[in-house]
Structure 1
């Protein structure tokens, strides 16, 4: 065999063994949670350094170490759970009612033309209204107790959930629905096996926004006529200009938002495992 043929044979064998990079990832995000943790650590370190060196005034931002110490005192005194448990119960009850009702109404709007024609204008009229502005009205209707707080949180989560749900139903691929009809599937089977799974990503994305709004409205509701709650704790700390306690309340709300987001992420992985 000639030298040229040997060279070609070696070149072809090396080309066969060379690994080819996979290019069909479809822009799938990679899980790098440690980067988010590093961002938090970096920002806290900057705040600690700035307040200790005087670059950041103690009148505008407390030291993170002092905030952590105040959080420990709140926990050891037992006041943490006295404020946290009522807030969690209000958030869970109000948001659950608003989200469940919003998903049901949104699915009906997406499936039935009569519901769409009658309810979409109503939802469009209610959606831009600042929900916090309705708190005095809810107090008049339901009293200054727990009813007004539940109603405000439920109403605040209802309208964005409706909009996200019927938008997600509208975005389901009509080709899949026609395919199901051509195979003779019943209307209920098409809704259960095609429409709802196809709309689930949009519904869960809307759920993130709705629950974030619920946390904001929770604080606003607890600042009016609540003895215990994170909102009442923040209001009391702000009135005393106690920045350490104020930031403890803010940190608790931030952690609550992170936990809610992580819970929705777990729900997405369980319900949307069919996605590649």
Structure 2
């Protein structure tokens, strides 16, 4: 008769489904970033990299500190953040609503998908003069450009995410006699949320690009206006300060979306 294993000899089996889950490695990204900055600093100091091509990161940092101390940083940053938040919020909210309606109703899909497909490839920056004519050269045209630029990618990402919801889950909800609204709110929307949030990353990146373009026309203050002024004077230190601010803004937005994903998508763990 075979011997029975002692309870302490049994080993727990790891959950195999977690093998493809991404693991946070923030230190690695920080190390890579520091190495890149160090390489550029060393290259510019030794002459390996021409000062006409890239400025010294230390000079860029000194220019940023000067911008901070003079108070000009907030004079440029606050208008940009206001335009970005207002325009992107309008575009994303309307885009998600339209995308969900397209995903749920065949008649709306038949009517709006061709329209979205027609306006999606249009370069939004090329429409800036038209928005200036419609909404004026003040804040209205900037809000409208950012909203329109984030609207179309949000619509496409949203109705694509709704389409990709597992139909077996919807059938299961129907078999338990759930109402239409219960199926939408408890199955369709949560199931589509990963795709919606992925599309939101793209939409907000486009919003930052359009923000800079909008501020280069008729804006006294803003990161885009600051970059345009620095570029016209060929002031590389100020130019790279503006680019760095936009890069940091993009990193912050990505981190916020990651926090939202962790909160809303805990069911995927």
TM value normalised by structure 1: 0.94
Match of 2:213 among 220, 234, 239: 220
Match of 1:238 among 225, 231, 235: 231
- The equivalent of 1:150 in structure 2 is 143
Q: CA deviation at 1:25?
A: 2.0
CA RMSD of aligned residues (A): 1.9
Match of 2:37 among 30, 35, 44: 44
Q: CA deviation at 1:20?
A: 6.1
2:138 & 2:218 partners in 1: Cα distance? Answer: 7
Match of 1:76 among 61, 69, 75: 69
Match of 1:34 among 7, 27, 30: 27
Q: CA deviation at 1:24?
A: 3.6
Is it true that 1:186 corresponds to 2:179 in the alignment? yes
TM value normalised by structure 2: 0.96
Deviations 1:3-49 (A, max 9, x none): xxxxx98xx77x94677665442401111111111111010000000
Quick check: which has more Rg, 1 or 2?
1
Q: What is the DSSP-based 3-state SS (H/G/I as helix, E as strand, rest coil) of the residue aligned with 2:48?
A: coil
Is it true that 1:115 corresponds to 2:108 in the alignment? yes
Q: Following superposition of structure 1 onto structure 2, how do residues 124-135 of structure 1 map, counting pairs within 5 Å?
A: 124-135=117-128
Q: What is the DSSP-based 3-state SS (H/G/I as helix, E as strand, rest coil) of the residue aligned with 1:144?
A: coil
Deviations 1:206-250 (A, max 9, x none): 000000000000000000000000000000000000000000000
- The equivalent of 1:177 in structure 2 is 170
Q: What is the DSSP-based 3-state SS (H/G/I as helix, E as strand, rest coil) of the residue aligned with 1:25?
A: helix
Q: CA deviation at 1:274?
A: 1.0
Q: Give unmatched runs, 5+ long, in structure 2.
A: none
Judged with a 3 Å threshold, the aligned counterparts in structure 2 of structure 1 residues 191 and 20 are, in CA distance, closer, same or farther, namely closer
**Structure 1 runs of 4+ off > 3 angstroms?**
15-24
1:52 & 1:101 partners in 2: Cα distance? Answer: 50
Deviations 1:163-184 (A, max 9, x none): 0000000000010101101101
Q: Report how many residues are paired.
A: 269
Judged with a 3 Å threshold, the aligned counterparts in structure 2 of structure 1 residues 162 and 24 are, in CA distance, closer, same or farther, namely closer
1:266 & 1:20 partners in 2: Cα distance? Answer: 30
1:242 & 1:146 partners in 2: Cα distance? Answer: 27
1:25 & 1:275 partners in 2: Cα distance? Answer: 10
Judged with a 3 Å threshold, the aligned counterparts in structure 2 of structure 1 residues 200 and 59 are, in CA distance, closer, same or farther, namely same
2:13 & 2:26 partners in 1: Cα distance? Answer: 28
Q: Give unmatched runs, 5+ long, in structure 1.
A: 1-7
1:18 & 1:131 partners in 2: Cα distance? Answer: 58
2:73 & 2:24 partners in 1: Cα distance? Answer: 33
Match of 1:207 among 180, 200, 212: 200
